[in-house]
């Protein structure tokens, strides 16, 4: 697998780097960012937290705004941030911000024209980690985290693949997409009108039936403009009670949906992952 280095910046003794590569899964050129902590300079292999961003974002939002590098450097954890969708002139798109490029929803689309490129679930689960683990000094230990649409993606990936991830965390996740406007719009387009197929990508429905558990941490701001209509953390919490899922859900007073919220609690999340990656 060939990759091209696009940028490189030293940060807290480690390196933040951007790369592009041709994705066979998505059928287009993709970009991702990686933070390599200073431990790799001495030949140490480190575990990876995969960060999935939200609607309209790229790999740059988290890496530039979250303030995650300092703690990742201390803990010896690499962070990989993919883009949020396939990109390119020949990739299907939509005029809305919540569908198409920048809004892949981390599903494998089955409906035309989206099914040609929109297979972000397989990309994040299989192709990108295989590439990262073949090129960089990382172990096979993985955790996954994300924000909003990316929080939905992180939870779904961990719930469906508990053998793959040591832990999962999310900020303001779209917890019950089959019941919210963002989810209904995206799932109808990508997966079709048979709502039975949507359940495979709904964290609340998956958690309700879960039998194998991945430790989960969710933070939600109570001043989030999208809380009531789009995010529905109460559905996730109810499902955890039914299945006995090890979910820690914190409602944070006064916080909104922005990266100010993420930056305020990203240290908690990385230390949470660090504890489980050590195992």
Where in the sequence numbering do the catalytic residues fall? 148, 224, 257
Q: Is the peptide bond before 164 cis (omega within 30 degrees of 0)?
A: no
Closest of 110, 109, 250, 121 to residue 173, by C-alpha: 250
Non-local CB neighbours of 90 within 8 Å, separated by 6+ positions: 28
In 146-196, alpha helices (H): 149-160, 181-191
Which regions of 62-197 does DSSP assign to beta strands (E)? 78-82, 138-147, 168-171
Residue in the structure block whose two tokens are 């799932």? 187
Non-local CB neighbours of 208 within 8 Å, separated by 6+ positions: 238, 239, 242, 243
DSSP state of 272: H
Number of helices (H), then strands (E), belonging to the chain: the values are 9, 9
Do 103 and 186 form a contact (C-beta atoms < 8 A)? Answer: yes
Closest of 163, 278, 179, 185 to residue 229, by C-alpha: 179
End-to-end CA distance of the chain: 30
C-alpha angle 37/41/46, rounded to 5°? 50
- Angstrom distance (rounded) from CA 88 to CA 99: 15
């Amino acid at each position: 697998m060939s990759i091209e280095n696009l940028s490189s910046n030293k940060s807290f003794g480690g390196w933040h780097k951007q790369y592009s590569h041709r994705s066979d899964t998505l059928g287009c050129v993709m970009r991702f960012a990686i933070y390599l902590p200073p431990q790799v300079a001495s030949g140490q292999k480190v575990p990876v937290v995969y960060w999935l961003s939200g609607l309209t974002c790229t790999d740059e939002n988290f890496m530039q705004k979250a303030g995650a590098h300092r703690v990742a450097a201390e803990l010896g954890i690499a962070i990989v941030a993919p883009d949020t969708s396939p990109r390119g002139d020949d990739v299907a798109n939509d005029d809305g911000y919540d569908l198409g490029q920048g809004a892949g929803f981390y599903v494998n689309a089955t409906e035309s024209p989206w099914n040609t490129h929109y297979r972000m679930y397989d990309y994040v689960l299989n192709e990108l980690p295989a590439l990262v683990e073949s090129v960089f000094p990382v172990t096979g230990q993985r955790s996954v985290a994300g924000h909003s649409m990316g929080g939905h993606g992180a939870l779904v990936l961990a719930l469906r693949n508990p053998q793959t991830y040591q832990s999962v965390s999310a900020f303001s996740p779209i917890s019950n997409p089959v019941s919210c406007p963002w989810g209904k719009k995206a799932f109808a387009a990508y997966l079709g009108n048979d709502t039975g197929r949507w359940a495979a990508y709904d964290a609340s429905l998956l958690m309700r039936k879960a039998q194998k558990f991945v430790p989960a941490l969710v933070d939600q701001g109570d001043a989030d403009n999208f809380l009531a209509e789009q995010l529905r953390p109460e559905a996730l919490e109810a499902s955890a009670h039914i299945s006995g899922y090890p979910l820690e859900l914190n409602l944070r007073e006064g916080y909104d949906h922005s990266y100010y919220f993420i930056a305020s609690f990203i240290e908690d999340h990385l230390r949470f992952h660090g504890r489980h990656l050590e195992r």
